[in-house]
Chain A
């Protein structure tokens, strides 16, 4: 048995299991017979097993250097270190689809074991059938279109190795997996939504998918922050977000999932926005497919531009099918959706809806900007691109509006405003004005001052909400404020977790405003021993030399830095600036970065004396506050984990929920 054969068999068998699962779940739904459902549920773990075998076969092929497999020959090399070999399955298209399909079988299995308890007999078969159908799509793609296990008649003695960008940083081992966990996770709420619409039970799916959506959202958020950090660490331009189509592909589902999370709360509490929720979750799931279509079809130029192939068309078909199912069902049942009341704008539900609409708008703008080059080309035949300035220009007002709403929303009570709320709003507004004025007094730009104001405004909102509920509890139970806080934080995980997430987002906005506004960049060629004084630093070039590092050759130019004023605070130290040369491509400049809460110092080796090693051209980038962007990412993810963390208190209340 060779890995290629095992993999091919495993893929085919998994496809078969998925088709059988789909068929049985469909029968269960049509015949209303529970036995078929039980049979269908058995195929979920079986297909997980099949997918794991296929994935294991690919790892086996890579680890045993089996260059008869095309994927191994084109993405693996004998020189690769072990960790690179282990993550090579997602170095290219075929392996990525396999990872995606495998994670889909994982989610389907979990849903199938849980759905027996949480779903009624009318909806369970449909939710399961939807997930099986998605699974059938992915495994059919692998069996008929992209073939991860194609074999080579004349295998080479050694392969080309994966894309150098993948080998250059360990984050590439983590980021794609997080991204796919997020993408695939959104298939579960979508499946529940489809089931809800088919079975005409429009309310309860919201409770059941709350956990799933938040899990997927948490993974997406972590993946986006991880991707930003990777870009910052590797690409050598000192930035972390370029509105590249691939980045856009990750942010679009995030916006839509965020919109859904907010309107879903209103449906949960008030039975409102049922139509919006069906629409948002369909769009969020479709956006994950749209992203793959964008980046894999070659229709859009991108840093990550991948080879053209039939897979783009296939994904376009899947995207259209997803939209057709979601919106087809919605238009069919639309007239039956009864809203349980009216919405006032000046209430929490009003603020949540407005916030979600902004998220939806943001997603729409990003889609439009990403696709606009195609429109222009179709109309006038000229090739154009839309630069980052467009996205930055549009995201500034949208971002400010959303930060304003983020502060107000949780402060407003459900249904209507009350008088004591106005005091909170006044406090928040004062914080906003104070922060803005402070920034202007320190002669910062208007944008950055506004960001400080908005940060203060959001912190005040959270502070007052927490302080008031702690105060009430202290008075009513007669405990100390500390005990009251711990008690509240333990009981109201969702509310406290969302406070944590909101603080993280406000901090991220602040960090983005500072780092985008005050970036200092300078380049200079230094001779050995020469000192360069700039931005509060003395930089001295020590040497220029080459080193063989197995799968790459590195040119290393260490520099010594001493800070001479506040601008260069915490920059002291030795930095090995380097260029990595991989066999198959142009060299990669790997920046060395000193992180600090004030400034980040970022050194890039740009060029060096190839003959004698007497000089090197260096670039330095000093960016304030980027550190806090990564801190914000950690805070947001921790806040999400805090909400999701299983607790003894909440378990009974969940199963006590109405089942229809």
Chain B
């Protein structure tokens, strides 16, 4: 192998390494519950996160003209108001686990993507209260 080949290979590997590890760092999306958000608000504000929890019963409001959807996500301890435009409201039910992708801004959560669970072993959660552990489990099972 000639020196110029080694140089070329090193260059390619370095470029790839930069691309991969730079990319991994910049594209980390934290996966948190409302309680975790309140424990460290500064860390999670203004960057993309996935907020997981339950849709609190009686809080879903959809404005059909502005297409704005409001609901409250709770983990049984703390709760956060979520506002989202363009989320298909028919796709989730109250008291169900949801994961919303978006950003915290001004005390509420701006969601831009709602991830719905598609599991073969899907079971509708029972209505009523959950312990934080149960909610954690539901969130983990939801994408």
A interface residues (Cβ-Cβ under 8 A, vs B):
74-75, 91-93, 162-163, 165, 236, 301-307, 345, 361, 365, 368-369, 372, 376, 382-387, 389-390, 393-394, 397, 523-525, 579, 584-587, 589, 604-609, 615, 617, 619
Contacts and interface: CB of A to CB of B under 8 A. Distances in A.
Given A383-B31, A383-B32, A585-B122, A369 B24 contact: yes
B20 to A, nearest CB: 6
Contacts of A307: 119-121
A360 to B, nearest CB: 12
Given A387-B27, A387-B29, A525 B93 contact: no
A385 B113 CA distance: 14
Given A387-B29, A604-B88, A304 B67 contact: no
B30 A304 contact: no
Given A385-B29, A586-B93, 18 more contacts: A163-B118, A303-B143, A305-B119, A305-B143, A345-B5, A365-B20, A390-B23, A397-B19, A523-B67, A525-B64, A584-B122, A589-B91, A606-B89, A606-B90, A607-B64, A608-B90, A617-B88, A619-B86
A385 B143 CA distance: 10
B64 A386 contact: no
Interface string B109-143: 00000011111111110000000000000001111
Contact of A587 (B23, B50, B91): B91
A311 to B, nearest CB: 13
A159 to B, nearest CB: 13
B90 A587 contact: yes
A387 B5 CA distance: 34
A433 to B, nearest CB: 23
Contacts of A387: 27, 29, 48
A525 B88 CA distance: 12
B23 A617 contact: no
B28 A376 contact: yes
Contact of A361 (B16, B26, B29, B90): B16
A617 B88 CA distance: 9
B41 to A, nearest CB: 15
A609 B20 CA distance: 47
A368 B24 CA distance: 9
B50 A385 contact: yes
Nearest to B22: A393
Contacts of A75: 120
B71 interface: no
Contacts of B50: 385
B19 A386 contact: no
B27 A389 contact: yes
B95 to A, nearest CB: 12
Interface residues of B, number: 42
A382 B124 CA distance: 27
Given A523-B86, A586-B91, A606-B88, A394 B20 contact: yes
A525 B63 CA distance: 10
Among A372, A385, A394, A579, which residue has the most Cβ atoms of chain B within 10 A? Answer: A385
Given A305-B119, A586-B116, A368 B20 contact: yes
Contacts of B123: 584
Q: Which one of B86, B115, B120, B142 has the highest number of Cβ atoms from chain A below 10 Å of its Cβ?
A: B120
Nearest to A237: B113
Given A386-B29, A586-B116, A372 B24 contact: yes
Contacts of B96: 586
A393 B93 contact: no
Q: Which of A345, A361, A394, A608 has the most CB of B within 10 A?
A: A394
Contacts of B16: 361, 365
Smallest CB-CB A-B distances: 3 pairs: A383-B31, A390-B27, A606-B88
Contacts of B15: 397
Contacts of A609: 64
A617 B120 contact: no
A479 to B, nearest CB: 45
Contacts of A382: 30-31
B120 A385 contact: no
Contacts, number: 119
Contacts of B28: 376, 384-386
B142 to A, nearest CB: 8
Contacts of A523: 67, 86
A75, A236, A361, A617 interface centre (most CB from chain B within 10 Å): A617
Given A93-B120, A617-B64, A607 B88 contact: yes
A184 B143 CA distance: 28
B31 A384 contact: yes
A305 B29 CA distance: 18
Given A91-B120, A163-B122, A387-B29, A525 B90 contact: no
Given A305-B143, A586-B96, A393 B29 contact: no
Contacts of B27: 386-387, 389-390, 393
Nearest to A386: B27
11 contacts: A162-B120, A301-B143, A305-B141, A384-B30, A384-B31, A385-B28, A385-B29, A389-B27, A525-B65, A605-B90, A619-B88
A424 to B, nearest CB: 23
Contact of A586 (B24, B29, B86, B92): B92
B68 to A, nearest CB: 11
A307 to B, nearest CB: 4
Contacts of B141: 305
A295 B121 CA distance: 13
Nearest to B16: A361
A384 B44 CA distance: 12
Given A305-B143, A394-B19, A607 B62 contact: yes
A607 B32 CA distance: 28
A606 B62 CA distance: 12
B119 A306 contact: yes
B33 to A, nearest CB: 9
Contacts of A302: 143
A163 B29 CA distance: 28
A419 to B, nearest CB: 22
Contacts of A305: 117, 119, 141-143
Given A301-B143, A606-B89, A615-B64, A390 B120 contact: no
A608 B26 CA distance: 38
A302 B120 CA distance: 12
A303 B118 contact: yes
A384 B62 CA distance: 29
A369 B121 CA distance: 26
A497 B102 CA distance: 46
Interface string B49-81: 010000000000010110100000000000000
B88 A589 contact: yes
Contacts of B143: 301-303, 305
A366 to B, nearest CB: 11
Interface string B1-41: 00001000000000110011001101111111000000000
A51 B88 CA distance: 44
A584 B93 CA distance: 12
Contact of A585 (B29, B62, B124, B142): B124
B36 to A, nearest CB: 9
Contacts of B121: 74, 92, 306-307
B124 A163 contact: no
